[in-house]
Structure 1
Amino acid sequence: MSTSSTASVSTHILDTSVGRPAEGVAVHLSARSGGSAHDGQGGDWQALGGSVTDADGRCKDLPALPEGTTHVRLDFAVEPYFEKKQADAQQDAPANRDSGAAVFFPEVAITFAVVPGEHYHVPLLLNPFGYSVYRGS
């Protein structure tokens, strides 16, 4: 049993379209304290900083959450990742060029509730036209 008075958060991204980690994705962390936005008791979001995914798709240096945090938001800037991936693919195989369609999900924002003393690992499973998340371990 943890005796910490704050929750902690970690994440990683797997690009399911290629079965590999998504490297170079900027991830920003925000937190708020108090109730939920629906009950009118939630505080304002506080930007805490961010990180960039490494070669394993992991952010190993996300900022710590402040005491009293009840909700966390992870913002993943996935558009630059997919644009680079598309540019690399076109360079490698020009005959397979796409129609130049924009990225369908330019960013992914995940908001979740936390309890002091708990660790929350929130992986993002990503592909060009969809994503899913879950509470990992």
Structure 2
Amino acid sequence: MEGFKFEEEEFRACCGSTQFAKEMAKASPFSSLEEAVTVARDVWFNKVDVTGWLQAFSAHPQIGHSPPSSSHPTSAQWSKGEQSTAIATATSSSLQELSQWNARYREKFGFVFLICASGKSTDGILAELKKRYPNRPIVEFEIAAKEQMKITELRLAKLFSTKEKVPSTGNVNPSVAAKKVEAVKTETPTRTRPPITTHVLDISRGSPGAGIEVCLEMWKGHQPHPVFGESTTGGWVFQGSSTTNSDGRSGQLLSIFDAVNPGIYRISFNTGKYCPGGFFPYVSIVFEIRESQKLEHFHVPLLLSPFSFSTYRGS
């Protein structure tokens, strides 16, 4: 089978990022929707930069409002359909409250509140907005990116459905898109990024730590855990490596899969090369993933200055 061939403009209807559309058009044709979604996830989370994310966010209308005049015509049409449940369940008071909270959100974060609105009521969307509003900007930025990917996947399914041939009528079967999305959910991982991620923030400069080499290892020694004060030579096994990009993100240290192996992990950063005059030749962060946590996401960032560092478990 030759596969499904799409143009850049068609992918721009699925995601407002020009960078995303170009990468997807270059990767086309696709043998199936499943293949397209897998590539789209990789492009969105690993190849599209911050500017591209913001461009995609700006293509979306505020919930309850008309799409921007600059929106792609097909994208604008899909947006109306995705918000149909919200509009149908709205009252004048709930729309007014939603508008007020949207304004507060945009003032705090600098972009429109983004949520995969398909099937959601106005009250449900408002509750989620209020829940997310206290987030730190960097946390909310990642959540918005994940919501954008959900929207993109639904629209890719709609795009593929236009290529389906239905006998006798020639019309698109309305259930095709839903069936395709369900197939993606069951046949590919539900995660949209690897289970272990990191980023570096250079707090001495107030900017991302770019160009830092990062290495991920897992403990495979004779003992179940490395013992404090004892030599651990040979116990750590390489899992993956990368270099932080201009946003301080490490890229893929692992592949995307649902269940991560429980155990002790170590992320090491080549801080000496990044900051030759600093105090730390390298920084290692050791953490444990338990059996009950194997489906969770582990974001372990590094906050770095020449003479101090700290970390935390992010989201």
Q: Which residue identity does 1:109 align to in structure 2?
A: S
What residue number does 1:113 align with?
A: 288
Q: Paired residue for 1:35, among 224, 237, 242?
A: 224
Question: Quick one: distance in 1 between partners of 2:199 and 2:264?
Answer: 19
2:214–2:244 contact (8 Å) kept in structure 1: yes
Q: Does 1:16 align with 2:199?
A: no
Instruction: Describe the superposition over 1:8-62 as per-residue Cα deviations: whole angstroms up to 9, x where unpaired.
Output: 21000000001100000000000125732239xx993211120000000001211
- Partner of 2:309, secondary structure, is strand
Matches within 5 A, 1:1-137: 8-32=195-219, 35-38=224-227, 44-64=235-255, 68-83=261-276, 102-115=277-290, 116-137=294-315
TM-score, with length taken from structure 2: 0.33
1:3–1:117 contact (8 Å) kept in structure 2: no
Question: Quick one: distance in 2 between partners of 1:23 and 1:113?
Answer: 26
Instruction: Describe the superposition over 1:98-119 as per-residue Cα deviations: whole angstroms up to 9, x where unpaired.
Output: xxxx431010000000131121
Q: Which residue identity does 1:125 align to in structure 2?
A: L
Q: 1:44 to 1:69 in 2, by over 3 A?
A: farther
1:8–1:120 contact (8 Å) kept in structure 2: yes
1:79–1:107 contact (8 Å) kept in structure 2: yes
Cα offset for 1:63? 2.0
- In the alignment, structure 2 segments of 5+ residues that lack a partner are 1-188
Identity of aligned residues (%): 39
Question: Quick one: distance in 2 between partners of 1:18 and 1:104?
Answer: 16
Cα offset for 1:124? 0.3
Cα offset for 1:80? 1.3
Question: Quick one: distance in 2 between partners of 1:126 and 1:109?
Answer: 12
- Partner of 2:275, secondary structure, is helix
Q: Which residue identity does 1:60 align to in structure 2?
A: G
- In the alignment, structure 1 segments of 5+ residues that lack a partner are 84-101
Q: Which residue identity does 1:129 align to in structure 2?
A: F
1:32–1:69 contact (8 Å) kept in structure 2: no
Question: Quick one: distance in 2 between partners of 1:15 and 1:36?
Answer: 31
Larger Cα-atom Rg = 2
Specify which structure has the higher proportion of helix: 2
Question: Quick one: distance in 1 between partners of 2:254 and 2:226?
Answer: 23
Q: Bigger relative contact order, structure 1 or 2, given CA contacts below 8 A and separation 6+? A: 1
Question: Quick one: distance in 2 between partners of 1:45 and 1:69?
Answer: 14
2:260–2:295 contact (8 Å) kept in structure 1: no
Q: 1:3 to 1:114 in 2, by over 3 A?
A: farther
Cα offset for 1:78? 0.8
Root-mean-square deviation over aligned CA pairs: 3.1
Specify which structure has the higher proportion of strand: 1
